[in-house]
Amino acid sequence: MPPGGTCPVVADSEVPAKWLGYMKSNFIRLADFWAGVECNLAEECYNYVVRESLSTGVNPAFSLAIWLRESGASNYCYAPGVQDFGINVAGLGENIVAQLDRFLKLPFLGSYLECRTVSGFIEPMHGFLEKFRTGTCLNGPTAIGTQSYKNVRDEPWLWVTEPYGPCLSGGLFSISWPTDNSCP
């Protein structure tokens, strides 16, 4: 296991069957390919990320896609101090539990919710990922935020949801917000 960062052990029996089997092995394979077999916590923490996401109402596939994109599923070997879920708060690097806890609150915050109705975004998920990457969405899309949106949509989201679809429709996310669990 990589140095730093641990998560509570969550048995397969605590995770709905939909998220096990090929869905789980596919994610572990993706993390191993992206970060290296010995340099991620995909196998150890997959069930934890899925369970916590479900318990807060966030789509586990979206959490998994962000986890893979932001840290290679906790790749602490090659990226010391990595932010597992992109939460840029001092002292939270290499802390998957605190990072995930903060990340799972974002879709419910007023400053994120207002991004759903700002004009100029391709879809609400674009507004969410603009705010996630740049810290604001109120001025509409930026090149940095738009690239982040495309990077998440076209790579980890596509790859993580591949066993069920994938969850894209017309080149857009098949979910309207991180709390939309309609796909996969």
For 43, phi then psi, to 5°, come to: -70, -45
Model pLDDT for residues 92-126, shown as the tens digit of each residue: 888 999 999 999 999 999 999 999 999 999 999 99
Taking a C-beta distance cutoff of 8 angstroms, is the pair 31, 40 a contact? yes
Residues of the chain above pLDDT 70, percent = 96
Nearest to 178 by CA among 24, 56, 10: 56
Q: Please give the distance of CA 18 from its chain centroid, rounded to a whole number.
A: 18
pLDDT at 30: 95
Cα separation, 86 vs 92, whole angstroms: 10
Give the pTM: 0.94
pLDDT over 80 (residue 5): no
> What ranges do the domains of the chain cover?
1-104, 109-175
Q: 109-112: list long-range contacts, CB under 8 Å, 24+ apart.
A: 112/137
Q: Which of 147, 146, 52 is nearest to 103 (CA)?
A: 52
**CA nearest to 14, candidates 43, 55, 42:** 55
Per-residue pLDDT of 69-96, as tens digits, reads 998 898 888 767 788 898 888 888 889 9
SS3 of 8-36: the string is: CCCCHHHCCHHHCCHHHHHHHHHHHHHHC
